[in-house]
Amino acid sequence: MQQNAPAIKTEIVRCFQKLYAQGTVNLFEGNLSVRDGDVIYMTPSQQNKETMTPEMILTLTPEGEILTQNGLKPSSETPMHLALYRLRPDIGAIVHTHSACATAFALAGREIASELAEQYLFFKGSIPCCAYGTPGTDAVFADFPRYFAHEGKNAVLLANHGLVTVGKTLEEAFARAEAEEKTVVSAEDTWILISGGSLTILNESGRDADGIDSNGHITMTGGTVLGSLAGGSSSARILVFGSVLCLIPALAAALLYKRCRHIDA
């Protein structure tokens, strides 16, 4: 056991309770973990976040063997966390939430794409949506090798489920989970505001895109298409209102999901 175990457990409880206060998880859902050397610190399953204490945080081996004997079970999503740690040696912490905006996009099966500089710095571009997997099963993280290992993403949506963010530290993973909600709201609001206007488009490096090609597509170095603007034309207005209309059923579904979703702790 590492000497800084008490501090790590205290920080996990503090972040978990902050997520609950922000409304991104309910009383018994969501989970987070920290890796410190060969020890994984994991939140317990089905425990009230308001009364959670550092002594309730479990420790495990990278293979999933429980080291803590406190009478509690680790989160049902522990295999997902362990799989991520195996994929990326640089990951030091993982946060899984069911924040309202992320869940809306996850229910709609849509990636989160925005031109915020923050999105490029925090998320390495868009936040993709993984294929659906029943919570608590290996199918949940079947797409993780593609997005986290091959594409180097730091956040993904889980279809019909929620959000997963990672970081070198718990603070970094938490900050990404927090920033995602702002990114989603900004992405949708942007399409409303730029109707008849213009938008500075960024490439993967966070710099301005190179320009607009003959088809009206916004491009960056290498000719990759980033998006399309049509000024104040009717097609732009259709795109704007279509985007908004597509979001309405997703938000409605998120509200319904909030009432009857699977408890994922």
Active site residue ranges: 77
Spatial distance between the Cα atoms of 102 and 162, rounded to a whole number of angstroms:
6
Spatial distance between the Cα atoms of 243 and 229, rounded to a whole number of angstroms:
14
Give the Å distances, CA to CA, from 110 to 103, 134, 243. Answer: 10, 18, 11
In three-state secondary structure terms, 219 is: strand
**Sheet of 211-212, strand order:** 211-212, 217-219, 225-228
Start-to-end CA distance of the chain, whole Å, equals 24
Cβ-count burial 79-106 (b if 16+ within 10 Å, e if not): bbbbbbbebbeebbbbbbbbbbbbbbbb
Beta-strand pair 225-228/39-42: unpaired
Spatial distance between the Cα atoms of 101 and 104, rounded to a whole number of angstroms:
5
Q: Which one-letter DSSP state was computed for residue 136?
A: T
Longest CA pairwise span in the chain (Å): 65
Taking the alpha carbons of 254, 116, 33, 136 in that order, is the dihedral positive or negative? positive
Spatial distance between the Cα atoms of 157 and 180, rounded to a whole number of angstroms:
10
